[in-house]
Structure 1
Amino acid sequence: MRLISSRQNALVTSYRSVTRRQRSKTDNRIFLDGVHLIVEAKTAGLAIQEAAFDTDRLDSRDEELLNLATSLKTENTRIVKVTKSVMSAISPVRKPSGVVAIAERPSPNLDDLLTNNRAMFLVLIDIQDPGNVGAIIRAADGGGATAVVTVGATAEPYSWKALRASMGSAFRIPVVSHNDINDLVLRARKAQLNILATTPRHGSSLFSYTFPSNPLILLGNEGAGLPREIVELVDDTVSVPMRAGVESLNVAVAAGLVVYEAYRQRRMTQ
């Protein structure tokens, strides 16, 4: 296994190009930090293109890293060892975990997903915090959602920050990016999905609401929520009851509550 000790090595530029904010839309690479995410990606069938291991951690016979390195070698992944200085240069994480990798981004097909006659979709509209995006994907996975769709200015769901927040769920549940909410609504209606909007108030109470068998649930921006013109497109609105004086919940918290109530009801009718 080749050792790289220079921060000027081309490998540093390659990894940094994956984690930078402004990237080509045709670049389908994603950055993975840590054994857990890399194993989750492998389990989901993603191709791990290359990996870099902290040489000190390998030399200390870290069993978890050694097992992963052995596994990746059998899959013809390009593997190198790097010094701590190089690892800190290629990883945006404050405390790199000892191994990073580049994998190919999943590419699920929205039209295929819409054919599920008992689907539950979460649609994230202009949710800008990658931590919130990742947390919602994790909740959607746990709550049995069919897929997550990101729209508008929503943070990139496969960015390294969102992936760390989703804890591998982005590899277990399909996550699709779509440009046009109006087109998505039209497709959802053709697929006979019921379109719901989450609103801070004035919607049906989550405590008493009966979810349809195939909901498409819209979640809006952290500060502004859903635009009025989008709320006007939906079949129903749902609100989480709150104590007086509380304006709203964090969008990831609200998403978790809504998803798990829908999940509870769906399990009761199976």
Structure 2
Amino acid sequence: MEKNLQIFGTRAIIEAIEAGKEIDKVYLQRGLTNNLTSELNTLIKKNGIQTSYVPIEKLNKLTQQNHQGAIANISVVRFDDFENLVNRTVESGVTPLFILLDQLSDVRNFGAIIRTAECTGVHGIIIPKKGGAPLNAVAIKTSAGAAFNIPIAKVDHIKDAIYYLQGSGIHVVAATEKTENTVYNLDFKQPTAIVMGREDSGVSPGVLKIVDEKAKLPLLGSIASLNVSVACGAFLYEVVRQRQS
């Protein structure tokens, strides 16, 4: 499995961003201030790149090279443009099926969802630029390579993506326990986007307010919730069942 490319040094990272490389995450030395660091911080904020401010010991563990207080991972996966992804899917004549990940935090869950999405014919996965699990080497490995076969798009805000999907005639469903409606009551033969939430807190309240429908999986045991990647698989295979019947 090819790992994400690691680059180090403030100037090198600045040039990578300006060259349009897909930066997965930047690690910056906490408290470091100079002109180059300020320039890098400005670019990071402008491009919405996920960043962690860490002690120098963390950076020294990531590389033995002279990192100058800055290390970045460049993704080996090229991200899709969100609006182009939606438009070409709608125009292709298929019945669209998308997954939106609302602040998912675990990279293995992310990879497992990518794998299941590719197996169930999902046309694209939509993730936030900030706050979500990175598409790193672990996520790609867990996806069994599916990350290279399914379009993945980053957006500034999941809520704005939902509005765009709705405006494109796509029915948006949130997977949440905060409803009495089960997944088996929904019509998945129509254009659909399914929102999966964060592992510990689920779909955020602001997103729940704007989706078209909410649905849950019936739980017959004593544990109150399913793993998010398992839940996503159950939702997606209900879509498959309906669309093949």
TM-score band by shorter chain is 0.5 to 0.7
1:106 matched to which residue of 2?
Answer: 78
Aligned counterpart for 1:229 among listed residues 206, 220, 242: 206
Rg larger for: 1
Evaluate the alpha carbon distance shift between residue 108 and residue 251 of structure 1 in structure 2; reply closer, same or farther with a 3 A threshold.
Answer: same
Whichever residue aligns with residue 262 of structure 1, its letter is: V
The structural deviation recorded for 1:254 is 0.2
Deviations 1:7-42 (A, max 9, x none): xxxxxxx95438xxxx77834378xxxxxxxxxxxx
TM-score w.r.t. the length of structure 2 is 0.67
Superposition RMSD in Å:
2.5
1:163 matched to which residue of 2?
Answer: 140
1:28 matched to which residue of 2?
Answer: 22
SS across alignment from 2:104: coil
SS across alignment from 1:140: helix
2:39 matched to which residue of 1?
Answer: none
The structural deviation recorded for 1:266 is 1.6
List aligned pairs for 1:180-195, cutoff 5 A: 180-195=157-172
Cα pair 1:201 1:240 within 8 Å, conserved: no
Q: Which runs of 4+ in 1 moved over 6 A?
A: none
Confirm whether residue 154 of structure 1 aligns to residue 132 of structure 2. yes
Cα pair 2:23 2:75 within 8 Å, conserved: yes
2:31 matched to which residue of 1?
Answer: none
Provide the C-alpha distance between the structure 1 equivalents of 2:166 and 2:201, rounded to a whole number of angstroms: 26
Provide the C-alpha distance between the structure 2 equivalents of 1:133 and 1:104, rounded to a whole number of angstroms: 16
Aligned pair count?
181
The structural deviation recorded for 1:203 is 4.1
Provide the C-alpha distance between the structure 1 equivalents of 2:153 and 2:217, rounded to a whole number of angstroms: 26
Provide the C-alpha distance between the structure 1 equivalents of 2:236 and 2:80, rounded to a whole number of angstroms: 21
1:127 matched to which residue of 2?
Answer: 104
Whichever residue aligns with residue 244 of structure 2, its letter is: R
Confirm whether residue 179 of structure 1 aligns to residue 179 of structure 2. no
Cα pair 1:134 1:165 within 8 Å, conserved: yes
Structure 2 unaligned segments of length 5 or more: list them: 25-61, 64-73
1:78 matched to which residue of 2?
Answer: none
Confirm whether residue 205 of structure 1 aligns to residue 177 of structure 2. no
Structure 1 unaligned segments of length 5 or more: list them: 1-13, 31-88, 91-101
Cα pair 2:81 2:154 within 8 Å, conserved: no
Higher mean displacement: 173-182 or 126-135:
173-182
Cα pair 2:176 2:216 within 8 Å, conserved: yes
1:77 matched to which residue of 2?
Answer: none
Aligned counterpart for 1:136 among listed residues 113, 117, 133: 113
Provide the C-alpha distance between the structure 2 equivalents of 1:182 and 1:207, rounded to a whole number of angstroms: 25
Cα pair 1:148 1:176 within 8 Å, conserved: yes
